[in-house]
Amino acid sequence: MTGYMQSMRELIGHRTVIQCAASVLCVDGEGRLLLGRRADNGLWGYSGGSVEIDERVEDCARRELLEEMGLTADEITLFCVSSGPETHYVYPNGDEVSNIEIVYLCTGYRGQPRCADGEMLELRYFRPEEISPDMISPPIRPVMERYLRARGAAQAWGKGDGR
């Protein structure tokens, strides 16, 4: 953790902080979603992270994709905004956040996927039907469900509202 969030943690410790994040759903030409197994909880997720002071959200999304997965986004489009009690999360280190996440979709990118900054242990492309709720990091499950429902592949997710 660096930048703004690190400064906030130094001031408030583990208490809940509102975290504005930008994330990227990176999809290849075969419709597979690139996910990374997170170093902090061992579950799978897409690239994303906290927006820095005065940083454009789109720039943050691109930066996080490059930092975490080694890819340069050619174009990103807004997919959704995720917030609310289902995105509240306590990290394994005790840091607590209430997330407001702006999520982009990227189908055009350059580079070879690689774990670039240590936040991901491994990267892998998944077909939508291979993704289940229990493998996904909790605060991003609402976004994953929405993405999979939009592609008709959320059978394992039950009867959620798919917001």
Can you list the domains of the chain with their CATH numbers? 11-154 (3.90.79.10)
Distances, alpha carbon 162 to alpha carbons 15, 60, 63, in Å: 29, 25, 28
Whether pLDDT at 98 is above 70: yes
Which residues neighbour 81 within 8 Å (Cβ) at sequence distance 6 or greater?
100, 101, 102, 103
Buried b (16+ CB within 10 A) or exposed e, 61-76: bbbbbbbbbbbebeeb
Q: Do 63 and 106 meet the contact criterion of CB atoms below 8 Å apart? A: no
pLDDT in tens, 28-64: 999 999 999 999 999 999 999 999 999 999 999 999 9
105 contact partners, CB below 8 Å, separation of at least 6? 24, 25, 27, 76, 77, 78, 79
pLDDT band at 1; cut points 50, 70, 90:
low
Query: pTM of the entire structure?
Result: 0.91
At residue 163, does pLDDT exceed 70? no
For position 157, what pLDDT does the model report? 72
pLDDT for residue 27: 97
Can you tell me the mean pLDDT for 9-29?
Answer: 94
What tokens were used for 26? 């990176």
pLDDT at 161 over 50: no
